Amino acid sequence: MEPIALEDLALLEVLVRIDQRADLVEGDTEVVKRLVESGLAEKGDGELTLTVAGVEMCKSLQHRAAADAQAERIRRERSAGLDDAAA
């Protein structure tokens, strides 16, 4: 299984910041524009919010990142177990 792509991690970071109504950074402008164009976020009443699709994308990416972290942890544990057995 390939680890989550850096682009997806960056997308997740922006989606979370929008969801938490945190300040966006200057580099987020293009990503936010694409999110609005693709229907994952919308601007209303001067505020940027996630659409239902944006929330689902955020959840999906969070699950993927968590699964990758768990898989990496298991891989390290198994590797450490093999190293201990060899010693």
Instruction: Give the pLDDT confidence of 8-65 residue by residue, as tens digits.
Output: 999 999 999 999 999 988 888 889 999 999 999 999 888 999 999 999 999 999 999 9
From the list 27, 57, 62, 24, the residue with the least C-alpha distance to 43 is 24
Secondary-structure class of domain 6-86 per CATH: mainly alpha
From the list 28, 25, 13, the residue with the least C-alpha distance to 58 is 13
Q: List the beta bridge partners of residue 50.
A: 41
Q: Give me 76's structure tokens.
A: 């390290």
Q: Degrees (nearest 5) of the Cα angle 80, 81, 85?
A: 115
| Gap between the Cα atoms of 85 and 77, Å rounded | 12
User: The pTM is what?
Assistant: 0.81
| Gap between the Cα atoms of 46 and 23, Å rounded | 14
Domain boundaries, the chain: 6-86
| Gap between the Cα atoms of 5 and 27, Å rounded | 18
> What pLDDT is recorded for position 80?
84
